[in-house]
Amino acid sequence: MFGLFKKDPVKKLEKEYQQLMEEAMHVQRSGDLKAYARKIEESEKILAQLEELKNK
């Protein structure tokens, strides 16, 4: 019953990953490739966390 109100960490990370990828796309289109690389690096870290949670 109390688990009903708990946030799912996988969904939270998936949302954060999608948001970072969208930001990376916009940064890439603006031409700032260094910022794009940083965004992609952040998103890869989140993707690794997602894979770890899904494997548990």
CA distances from 28 to 2, 4, 33, 46 (A): 43, 39, 6, 19
pLDDT, one tens digit per residue, over 25-36 is 999 999 999 999
Q: Find where tokens 């954060």 sit.
A: 16
- pTM confidence score: 0.82
Q: Bigger pLDDT: 35 or 4? A: 35
DSSP state string for the chain: -GGGGSPPHHHHHHHHHHHHHHHHHHHHHHT-HHHHHHHHHHHHHHHHHHHHHHH-
Q: How high is the pLDDT of residue 3?
A: 66
